[in-house]
Structure formats: C-alpha cells, structure tokens
Structure 1
Amino acid sequence: MSLFSRTKGFALACALALPLVFASTPAHAAPALTNDDVKVQVNDKLVVFPDAQPFIDPEQHKLQVPARIIADQLGLKTSWTQNGSDIQIALSNEKTTVSFTLGNPTISINGQASSQTYNTALIDGRAYVPFRLISDAFGMIAQWDGTNRIGIYGTDGKYYAPAWYAPKYEKVIEAKATAYTASPSENGWGARDYMGNPLQLGTIAVDPSVIPLGSKVYIEGYSFDGLPQDGMFATATDVGSAVKGNKIDIFVPVSKSKAYNFGIQQVKIYVLK
C-alpha cells in the first residue's frame, strides 16, 4: 500500500488518559510551557494529547512529554507519592521500574541509580519527563524528526516514518535500490555523505541528474530488517560512482556483511515538493 493511500485512510489513536494532576506545586516547578507544535508517535500511531502537550524545552532544547499520557500509550504503569513539596513517580512494566523525583535529575532503574541524568518537572499540574528518558530506560528505539517536529517511539525494535505527514510530490520514480554502510571500503570521505553530513538513517546516494542533491523523498517497496517498515523518508545528500540513472543507494546502519543481504531491490521513490 502506498504512502498516500495509506495516509489518506489514517485514523488517529484516540486512547485518552486521565492527566496526572497534583494538589500543590513544588518550589522547583518549571516555568509554563510554550506551544511548539510538536507531535509524538508510538510505532505507526500518533499520540493524542487532550490537554497537556509535548514541547521543546527552550533551555535544554530537548523534547518533553506528559508522563501519564505517554505511559498509558506505552502500556506502562504509573504510580506517585507526595512527600511535602516532592513528587515521586514510578513508571514500570513487567521487567523494569523507573523511579524519580520531579525536579531531581537523578533517576533509578530497578533500584539502581542511573549514570544518566534527566530534567523532569511539574508544569501546570502535569508531570513532564524527557522523551529520551522513557526510551533509554525501557530499551525502545527513539527517533526525532526535526523537519516534521515529531518524536517517534519504536517499541518493537523497528523504525517508523511520521504517520501524520502526507506531503505532495513532484514526481514518482521507479528505481533500483542497493544498500551501503559506513565501512571505510565503501566511503571515500569517511563516514560522511557527499555534503559533509554524518551518515545516518535517511541518507541516500543518488544520481543528481535524476534526483537533485538536497531533495526530500519517500521510498517504498523495499524489504530489509533495519529500515523503517513499509516506507521511509530520506534526503539525497550522497553520490556514488555506481549510482547512475534510476538507481539509489540507501545507507543502512548495520554491518557491511548484513547490508550485502539487501541485494538489488525494485523501489518506488516519491520526490517531495
């Protein structure tokens, strides 16, 4: 199923949960949030936030999410206790329990202090935690799409494209696709693309006479464990001596031997406006 037919029929996940509200606000409460129009997705479904919204912390420049709503969407249990002005929260599943006090950067995982610190806060009566705290603690894939301003949790070990984004496109190209890695034997300029950016998921090499460098594209039709299921957004920032005509080379963050299994696949490429 194509991106555009699939997106047209997309229905938002509507599991609304009761917000985490407290009777008092501790002295370490953060300033009121601003509306940054950011979104959060769990696998291929958007999270609906009925009141408290995710936002980008203007000081730390990190995505913050309402703890209770996100926990419910991820199937995590939430419990809290209040000791004076301190709010202590625990998020847990069958294997992991994450405990922390709002405003205190130290967290514990299964009773052991974590070496990582995270800025948690109580804002307008809602507990907020960093997007990365949950993915790091519970072993989920976390993606941040800065172009579309959306954070994506992959709970099943897979990568996902933004489910809400249905762009218009200039043309569709039927092409052959191969895969490459950051192996020195495959990269004349190290683990970077032709434009000097670090190789990462979403980097593709193209023939600039067919797909201009800098183009945003959506690719579907491939099958490979290690790339987003069904399709992926990518940017044409690399070239290759063997990439000529209707052919692309997709960077894959795996070993060279595993990338070899990609072979040559027929794909469809939407060149986006």
Structure 2
Amino acid sequence: MTDLTPFDFDGQAVRVVTIDGEPWFVLADLARVLDIAAPGRLAARLDEGVRQTHTLPTPGGPQNLAVVSEAGMYEVVIRSDKPDAVRFRRWITSDVLPAIRKTGAYGTPALNGPELLAHAVIEAHALIAANEAKILALTPRAEAFDAFLSTSGDLSVNEAAKILSRDNGILTGEKRLRAWMQANGWIYRNEADEPRAYQRRVDQGALAERARWHHHPETGERVIDTPQVRVTAKGVEALAKSLTKVVDRGELDVTGGDAA
C-alpha cells in the first residue's frame, strides 16, 4: 500500500510516500532543500537497500522518481553543508514522521460506541509502544548526525579517509590522504615535525584544530597535548571534489598501493 503526503519546509515541498507502512522521501526534494547538487549522482552513491524508484503523480503526469528510506534520508542530510541541515533533520523527526505514523493504519472500518473506544485504546497502546521503540533506535543515530553537523562536529583524518573511500569511491587511507593534504596546501609540519592546519583552510571552515590532553602518569595533572588536525563536513566535501578531479585527470593515483 502506498500513500503520498506533501509536507512544507520553509516554503519548499518535501514529498513522502508511504510504502508498506514505511516512509520514503523523494530524493530530489531532499537535495533541493539541502542545497545538494546532482541528485542523480547522489542516488548512485546510496546503497540499494535505502533507495529505489517509485511511480508518483506529478504535474506532468506519473513519473518514476528516486525515493530513499528513513535511513537513506539521514545519509543525505549528512552530505549537506547547509547550516539548516540540523534543523531540517529535527523537523523530519519531530513533525513529519509523527504525522505519518499517528494513525498506524489505513482503511480501518467505521466503528462506533464501545467498539470505537476499544479500538482507539488498542491503537493508542500499540502506537506508544512502537514510538518508544523507534525513539530508542533512532536516538543514537540522530545524536551522531547532530554531532557531525554541529559547529564543533569534525572528523579525524583517518575517519575522513574512510568516508571518502565509502561514499566517494576514492579508496585512500590515512597515510595517503595526509600526504596529499600536505602536498596540496592543506596541512604542514612545524619545526617539531607536528602536523598543523594551514590557517586559510581553518578560515574556510574546511579544517579545525582540537586540543588534546592527558593526565600526567606521575603527578596526575592535566597536560595539554599538540592540537589534532580535524576535517569538517565542508572539508570532506571539498576533499572529495578535489581528489575526484585529480584521479579523473590521472595526475595522482590515490587508490593504488598501500592505502593504510
């Protein structure tokens, strides 16, 4: 069973189709709201389990459109550099999903009197139990996305390399990525041979430096270590674009050899 529901986010349509009781989001709508270019290319990067095509009514007649599951929607959100991405995700989880799931069923026969009351009680208990289970399942995932998309959310170079390999087909690793970043004006090594971020990359919002600390093994005092270079969501996207162009031109093989 399918049912198309249009929602509005800041004046932009977000269509959600219910397929076998589960919400699927029109990918083109998500890409437009989140300022992500080339939704077709984005769809190709998503796993088959979280995307499919579905025939939906449009002003020009029925069309086969790419739709993504709830899990796929979260993957799309994390790819956006738009500041409103977190607010959009919270709107989905607090407004859209509850609105879709508030009845829990379609086509229920007309009831009245005691039967209607009994049915309402049963549905309410089932809905509460289902929502509690979904909240428990979604909370860690939602918190992880919020942390990544927040102003302080960033990744280690190793984590960035894994995302580039998984989502962009650039099969590089931490050592190769560090070497490329150092050769191309992203990071450098200071006199103490410690990796540091170029200030212009920090100003661009592509890199950040986070101070680390540890407790002195003898005194127990808190000791500040050398800041660690971190890659922001914007930086991952910029690296993906640059490395894709470099590999396509054949100027550098970041996928060959030891990708560790």
TM class, shorter-chain normalised? Answer: under 0.3
Q: Which has the higher strand share?
A: 1
State which structure, 1 or 2, has the greater radius of gyration over its C-alpha atoms: 2
Higher relative CO (Cα under 8 Å, sequence separation at least 6) belongs to 1
TM-score w.r.t. the length of structure 2 is 0.26
